[in-house]
């Protein structure tokens, strides 16, 4: 059947990394191999440089660029590949968390010299929660870096996943000679000046004297010793373990030098999963079902403040999505028809007539959609799995222009629906608390409220540690807790109880004193 063939050839994934590890460079090289772009340097870096945190032009520029690069689709050897871009700046980590709910697998880029950094650790937690299969690319092997065995240990410890090298570097930095490709049994030689072609030598045996000739006796001996150690320590690569998210294959290379990238891509298309069944509150939805269903994982507001038009990004989960067909918007119960849905090929946006599971369609919208909304062909389904995570920074938001209270309310509501930050309402004093993962988000909110809604807000400090969604089967204890912690209780956008702990100590004491209450750090439990 046509739909099965289309599903089977789709690979929808995200590249995640700590800023500067090489995500943009790797993305660009993958697009080059897919023929989606023709020259290096075509993918604009979508990151806001650290020095420019208050540079509004940069933020606006970033918003503009990131629409174009939100999804990059291309064809490669019969596969349809969709790369979902994630914001480079760590203050927008929440955006990345949500994007991870729309991918079927992930490639993690790690800098060989810096190893596993903070942002990578956090993003991996989200992958682990969802058992997302991950492949790791250790980048910048052309620079001095850590010992590869130490890197593997670090990956295993810091990312809490079993690793299995599928390529192995021969020396590093200035002496980097290339990699032995364990997956394909080839020797891939590195020449720094060469930009796109890897010299590849097919090997029947790791003991072949050919290796000594090509990389020198010392490095050849070291390679053989390393390989023996790897075979002794790491079990054979097991694709099923990878697909369960329990084992991560590791590749070494240099994105800047286009080295090891094609090898990564070739292995990726072969082992990475095509779209899988997705859970809804009602039942499991299989991609090959004939009826369309999908969910909104990202909303992008238009930069033109005079028109409140947005693009809602929908991941197709089942069936075929078609232009000009009526679909049901579950939250409102309304039927909707889209005459200009867009798809994303390379860096171009164009109107599409149809899309298959794994694809992302952009739906022009004027404020109907919220993050997490479900669209179906008519059946009542609601996709699960778009959790909000506990923010890390909190501030009271106050109106600074009494004449514009309505505008402020509307602006806050819409920005929250778009997923810019999370809002909690204090049950104690009714004040609104905005929670973010980074300082920059507060600045963005203030700026956008003023420029898009004409409303002025002011931030007031509040000292909080974490927001915890609470629940309990023991109704008495729950009531007792809420009474005791009245000052620190708030409600989230869905009206659920949230405990705003002001310190780790207070939280630990609360957990100890109220054992029947469960404290959750994400809204999905
Ligand atoms: P990011 O998206 O993860 O933030 O990283 P990005 O690709 O922008 O790469 C960060 C820096 O690392 C860039 O240098 C890039 O050229 C460099 N880089 C990426 N891959 C490699 C590699 O394999 N080897 C080496 N030596 N460097 C690499 P930059 O100076 O910050 O930016 P640019 O001025 O070169 O664009």
Residues with Cβ within 8 Å of residue 147, at least 6 apart in sequence? none
Ligand 1 center–CA 337 separation, angstroms: 43
**Is the CB–ligand 1 distance for residue 60 below 6 Å?**
no
CA-to-CA dists, residue 68 to 210, 353, 359, 410, angstroms: 47, 20, 16, 27
Ligand 1: residue of 18, 24, 25 to mutate (most ligand atoms within 8 A of CB) is: 25
Q: In what order do the strands lie in the sheet with 466-472?
A: 457-461, 393-399, 432-436, 422-426, 489-491, 497-501, 466-472, 517-520
Ligand 1 center–CA 195 separation, angstroms: 15
Ligand 1 center–CA 176 separation, angstroms: 18
pTM for this entry:
0.85
Ligand 1: residue of 14, 15, 16, 22 to mutate (most ligand atoms within 8 A of CB) is: 22
Contacts of residues 3-8 at CB distance under 8 Å and 24 or more positions apart, as own/partner, are 3/288, 3/290, 3/319, 3/320, 3/356, 3/357, 4/288, 6/80, 6/356, 6/357, 7/274, 7/275, 7/287, 7/288, 7/356, 7/357, 7/358, 8/274
**Is the CB–ligand 1 distance for residue 140 below 6 Å?**
yes
Ligand 1: residue of 15, 20, 257 to mutate (most ligand atoms within 8 A of CB) is: 20
Which atom of ligand 1 lies closest to the CA of 28? 7
Ligand 1 center–CA 48 separation, angstroms: 14
pLDDT for res 204: 77
pLDDT for res 48: 43
Low-confidence ranges of the chain (pLDDT < 50): 46-54
pLDDT for res 53: 41
Ligand 1 center–CA 242 separation, angstroms: 28
Which atom of ligand 1 lies closest to the CA of 21? 3
**Is the CB–ligand 1 distance for residue 24 below 6 Å?**
yes
- For the segment 42-71, what is each residue's pLDDT rounded down to a tens digit? 555 544 444 434 455 566 556 555 555 678
Helix (H, G, I), strand (E, B) or coil at 69: coil
pLDDT for res 367: 79
Which atom of ligand 1 lies closest to the CA of 27? 7
pLDDT for res 242: 97
pLDDT for res 98: 85
Residue with CA nearest ligand 1 atom 22: 140
Ligand 1 center–CA 30 separation, angstroms: 15
**Is the CB–ligand 1 distance for residue 448 below 6 Å?**
no
Q: Output Rg (C-alpha) for the chain, integer angstroms.
A: 25
- DSSP-derived secondary structure letter, 49: P
Ligand 1 center–CA 19 separation, angstroms: 10
Q: Where are the beta strands (DSSP E) in 319-409?
A: 321-322, 326-329, 334-337, 342-345, 348-351, 354-355, 360-365, 374-376, 393-399
CA-to-CA dists, residue 21 to 117, 137, 372, angstroms: 9, 10, 30
**Is the CB–ligand 1 distance for residue 254 below 6 Å?**
yes
Write down the residue that tokens 């708030």 correspond to. 490
**Is the CB–ligand 1 distance for residue 107 below 6 Å?**
no
Residue with CA nearest ligand 1 atom 24: 140
**Is the CB–ligand 1 distance for residue 143 below 6 Å?**
yes
């Amino acid at each position: 059947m046509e739909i099965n063939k289309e599903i089977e050839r789709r690979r929808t994934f995200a590249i995640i990394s700590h800023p500067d590890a090489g995500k943009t460079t790797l993305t660009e090289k993958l697009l080059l191999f897919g023929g989606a772009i023709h020259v290096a340097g075509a993918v604009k870096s979508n990151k806001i440089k650290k020095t420019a945190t208050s540079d509004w032009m940069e933020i606006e520029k970033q918003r503009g660029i990131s629409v174009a690069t939100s999804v990059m689709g291309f064809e490669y050897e019969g596969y349809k590949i969709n790369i979902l871009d994630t914001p480079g700046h760590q203050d927008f980590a929440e955006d990345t968390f949500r994007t991870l709910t729309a991918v079927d697998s992930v490639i993690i880029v790690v800098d060989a010299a810096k190893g596993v950094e903070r942002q990578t650790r956090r993003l991996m937690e989200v992958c682990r929660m969802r058992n997302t299969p991950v492949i790791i690319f250790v980048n910048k092997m052309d620079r001095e870096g850590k010992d590869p065995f130490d890197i593997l240990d670090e990956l295993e410890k810091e990312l809490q996943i079993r690793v299995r090298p599928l390529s192995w570097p021969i020396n590093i930095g200035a002496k980097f000679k290339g990699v032995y490709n364990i997956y394909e049994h080839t020797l891939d030689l590195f020449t720094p000046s060469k930009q796109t072609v890897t010299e590849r030598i097919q090997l029947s045996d790791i003991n072949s004297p050919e290796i000594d000739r090509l990389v020198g006796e010392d490095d050849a001996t070291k390679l053989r010793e390393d390989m023996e150690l790897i075979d002794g320590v790491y079990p054979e690569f097991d694709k099923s373990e990878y697909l369960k998210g329990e084992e991560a294959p590791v590749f070494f290379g240099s994105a800047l030098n286009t080295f090891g990238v094609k090898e990564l891509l070739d292995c990726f298309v072969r082992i990475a999963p095509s779209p899988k069944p997705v859970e809804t509150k009602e039942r499991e939805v299989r991609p090959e079902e004939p009826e369309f269903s999908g969910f909104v994982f990202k909303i992008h507001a238009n930069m033109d403040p005079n028109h409140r038009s947005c693009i809602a990004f929908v991941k197709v989960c089942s069936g075929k999505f078609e232009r000009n067909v009526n679909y049901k918007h579950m939250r409102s119960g309304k039927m909707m028809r889209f005459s200009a849905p867009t798809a994303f090929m390379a860096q171009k946006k164009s109107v599409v007539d149809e899309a298959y599971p794994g694809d992302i369609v952009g739906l022009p919208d004027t404020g109907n959609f919220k993050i997490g909304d479900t669209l179906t062909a008519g059946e009542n389904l609601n996709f699960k799995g778009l959790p909000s995570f506990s923010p890390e920074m909190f501030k009271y938001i106050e109106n600074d222009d009494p004449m514009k209270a309505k505008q402020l309310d509307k602006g806050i509501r819409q920005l929250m629906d778009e997923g810019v930050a999370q809002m909690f309402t204090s049950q104690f004093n009714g004040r609104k608390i905005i929670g973010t993962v980074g300082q920059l988000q507060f600045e963005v909110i203030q700026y956008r409220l003023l420029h898009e809604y004409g409303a002025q807000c002011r931030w007031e400090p509040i000292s909080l540690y974490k927001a915890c969604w609470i629940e309990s089967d023991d109704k008495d204890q729950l009531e007792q807790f809420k009474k005791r912690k009245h000052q620190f209780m708030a409600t989230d956008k869905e009206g659920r109880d949230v405990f705003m702990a002001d310190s780790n100590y207070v939280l630990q004491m609360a957990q100890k004193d109220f054992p029947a209450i469960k404290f959750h750090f994400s809204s999905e439990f």
